[in-house]
Amino acid sequence: MNDQSENDQSEPSDLERADSPAAPAFDKAAARRRYRATMRGPFMRSLYVLLALVILAAWGLGIGAVFARDVERLPGHDLSVPPSRCVSCHTNPAARAPAMPHVAFPSCGFCHRQGPPNNE
């Protein structure tokens, strides 16, 4: 009989179960660990490097655009001129055009200020 009373005491009653705090539904510490593991993983680190390269490239192009010459007043340098014509003229050593000190971009107006087409 003594064994039975010990068993009764070791098992909590229904009343005691209701009063005891329940396990949390959301484990904040585990979520924080998962988030840190994700953000410090190799995929996210590669995205951080890619982001840094994009920002540096944007700064470089912005600085290049600040120092680029304005060609809006030069004849034949308006927005209607295709970039391929600019490249062919500025890479031809026989032409009097100065050499192009950079790679060709999709548009000359990317860095150089160009005027509207002259319809004269």
* Per-residue pLDDT of the chain in tens (120 residues, 90 and over written 9): 555 555 555 555 555 555 666 666 888 899 999 999 999 999 999 999 999 999 999 998 888 878 877 776 777 777 777 778 777 888 777 777 777 777 777 777 767 777 676 665
Q: Specify if 97 maps to a domain.
A: yes
Looking at residue 42, what is its pLDDT?
A: 93
Give the pTM.
0.49
Give the domain extent around 98. 70-120
Looking at residue 53, what is its pLDDT?
A: 97
At 74, list the tokens: 């030069």
The residue to which tokens 């600019």 are assigned: 86
Residues 34, 44: contact at Cβ < 8 Å?
Answer: no
Q: Specify if 7 maps to a domain.
A: no
Does residue 117 share a domain with residue 100? yes
What does the CA dihedral 84, 94, 97, 115 come to, rounded to 10 degrees?
A: -40
Q: Specify if 39 maps to a domain.
A: yes
Does residue 75 share a domain with residue 52? no
Looking at residue 51, what is its pLDDT?
A: 97
Domain count, the chain: 2
